A = this chain, B = another copy of it.
């Protein structure tokens, strides 16, 4: 019997080529050449790439301008969604978080609740996918010194946090203990009238705060980023 259907879906190679095209375009700002597609899609012959490119054009996934180098553009992504250039389609995919200052053993320079505080100069770019939906009131500080090692946070790490005056159980907060005049990052647990501050390092013991006056919550920790480059020792 005849298999009347000729409208079969895309093969792995079709998909792969679309993926490569999309990624290349996003990263370079211009389309790949046939040979570059071949290299990235593990296709050794330019003619084979061309072969699939023709089919993709036939299926209206791409458009081609023959005889023009890199003369192709993506119309739909591998998932069939219309392709919007520029890496983002209206919604920013990342956020530039202001680097408000440094956090050390005792002090943290905070931008207060100061808004309108937009200093492009020092900021950390973080993909939105790593953050909560609401990116308001977010700032970042760089950790200065080893005083946070019990929170598994090292010198030079970047801590992204949100301004807050209180916290829910289980959230990691930046707290200042007025008595000691120290600043630490701990998991927050309210247990009756006292508060348990649990280090992130499971091998370390929690500390307890009985007097709520002694506890100043500065913010909630959302993300810790550590760039591993140079050595510490």
Residue numbers of A with Cβ under 8 A of B are: 16, 19-20, 23, 25-31, 33, 39-42, 63, 65, 68-74, 78, 84-96, 115-116, 118, 120, 124-130, 146, 149, 152-154, 169-172, 187, 189, 198, 200-203, 221-233
Contacts and interface: CB of A to CB of B under 8 A. Distances in A.
A166 to B, nearest CB: 16
A231 B146 contact: no
A149 B203 contact: yes
Contacts of A33: 69
Nearest to A189: B231
A42 to B, nearest CB: 5
A120 B223 CA distance: 23
Contact of A94 (B23, B127, B172, B233): B127
A68 to B, nearest CB: 8
B19 A232 contact: no
A223 B225 contact: yes
Nearest to A200: B154
Given A27-B95, A28-B91, 20 more contacts: A28-B65, A28-B73, A29-B88, A29-B90, A30-B31, A30-B70, A85-B85, A85-B86, A87-B89, A87-B94, A93-B125, A124-B127, A125-B127, A130-B227, A149-B152, A152-B226, A170-B230, A223-B225, A223-B228, A226-B226
Contacts of A16: 116
Contacts of A200: 154, 232
Contact of A202 (B129, B152, B232): B232
Contacts of A231: 169-172, 187, 189, 198
Contacts of A71: 28, 30
A225 B224 contact: yes
A63 B152 CA distance: 40
